């Protein structure tokens, strides 16, 4: 098991960037809110897909279908702070969304921002209309069997709200922490109990690319981006996150230039190839690029807002010049300090 490409071929990693619903656009997928750009390790530049996310084809479908259609011994976790049946994982659960799938050949971890997605395994695969209105991002990384176990440590920090799980007994010995999460997905006792309340976990892919999970538990009590990530990457950062979640003006965290490595909020995205432009108020995705150099790109699931200082969540980052440049150049403008 691993990440699958648009044509259902194994890939080391891929990124999907879904564009917000653009009702006046002539492209039918953009008009419906299912249009997206795609990149993977073989072609690390954002490229417009010829199909929508509602099609039962493409990278998301082919990757997740390994869970939905596989009749063999397959393990999986689906977690979200906004589940398909509209439950919300409140504090101390993380503001986190993702899917972990694995078998004896290895697995994949998909981190994303889409609410109510994906459906329970028993309901079969379907794109959720709830996620169509706003922009969304998805990152999938392919992991060897032994590395899958490290996601259990990540789970202890992001403390996800697990809404569907399958964990065959054959994995009990090799994945002890994941087993605990599978046995009692409602427990409040599996998160980290003492400092440090944040951690960096190395996740090399099957192909040897080094991804890093930067995660925090709620007791960290600070913004993930200016309180942790910028220091660890030692870079000024441009951060795209969901601002509509900030119900009052006082909840919004402004760009921060008072620290060694500055953190700026992205205001507007522009995709020149299709003359697409939209503001962060229409973009539910959460991603980060290093501002000027370093070639860092991160995809995650937590916002820059005061209430989420006390919420668990994270970002998964890697260095790739082409992928970084592809995201950096769509940042039309950002908020100064």
Instruction: Give catalytic residues, as residue numbers.
Output: 284
Helix (H, G, I), strand (E, B) or coil at 4: strand
> What is the phi/psi pair of residue 251, to 5°?
-80, -20
C-alpha 97/C-alpha 118 separation (Å) is 10
Structure tokens at 250: 């006082």
Cβ neighbour number for residue 236 with a 10 Å cutoff = 18
User: Is residue 241 classed as helix, strand or coil in its secondary structure?
Assistant: coil
Q: For residues 5 and 123, give the distance between their C-alpha atoms in angstroms, rounded to a whole number.
A: 23
* Terminal-residue alpha carbon distance, the chain: 45
**C-alpha closest to that of 286 among 239, 241, 238, 224:** 241
* Nearest-angstrom CA–CA distance, 130 and 223: 27
Three-state SS at 152: helix
């Amino acid at each position: 098991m691993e990440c699958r490409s648009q044509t259902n071929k194994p890939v080391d990693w891929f990124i999907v960037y879904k564009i917000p619903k653009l009702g006046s656009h002539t492209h039918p997928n953009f008009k419906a809110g299912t249009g997206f750009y795609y990149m993977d390790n073989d072609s690390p530049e954002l490229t417009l897909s010829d199909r929508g996310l509602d099609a039962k084809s493409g990278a998301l479908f082919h990757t997740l279908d390994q869970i939905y259609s596989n009749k063999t011994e397959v393990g999986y976790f689906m977690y979200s702070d906004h589940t398909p049946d509209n439950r919300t994982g409140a504090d101390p659960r993380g503001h986190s969304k993702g899917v972990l799938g694995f078998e004896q050949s290895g697995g994949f971890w998909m981190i994303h921002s889409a609410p109510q997605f994906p459906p329970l395994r028993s309901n079969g695969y379907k794109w959720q209309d709830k996620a169509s209105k706003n922009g969304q991002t998805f990152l999938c990384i392919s992991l060897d069997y032994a590395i899958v176990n490290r996601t259990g440590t990540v789970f202890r920090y992001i403390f996800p709200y697990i809404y569907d799980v399958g964990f065959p007994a054959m994995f009990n010995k090799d994945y002890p922490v994941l087993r605990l999460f599978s046995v009692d997905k409602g427990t409040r006792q599996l998160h980290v109990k003492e400092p440090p309340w944040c951690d960096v976990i190395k996740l090399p892919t099957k192909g040897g690319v080094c991804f890093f999970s930067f995660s925090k538990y709620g007791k960290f009590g600070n913004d993930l981006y200016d309180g942790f990530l910028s220091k660890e990457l030692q870079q000024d950062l441009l951060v795209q996150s969901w601002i509509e979640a900030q119900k009052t003006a006082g909840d919004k965290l402004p760009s921060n230039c008072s620290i060694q490595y500055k953190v700026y909020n992205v205001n507007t995205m522009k995709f020149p190839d299709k003359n697409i432009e939209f503001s962060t108020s229409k973009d539910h995705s959460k991603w980060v690029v290093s501002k000027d150099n370093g070639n860092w790109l991160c995809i995650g699931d937590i916002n820059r807002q005061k209430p989420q200082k006390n919420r668990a969540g994270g970002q998964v980052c890697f260095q790739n010049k082409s992928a970084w440049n592809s995201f950096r150049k769509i940042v039309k403008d950002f908020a100064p300090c």
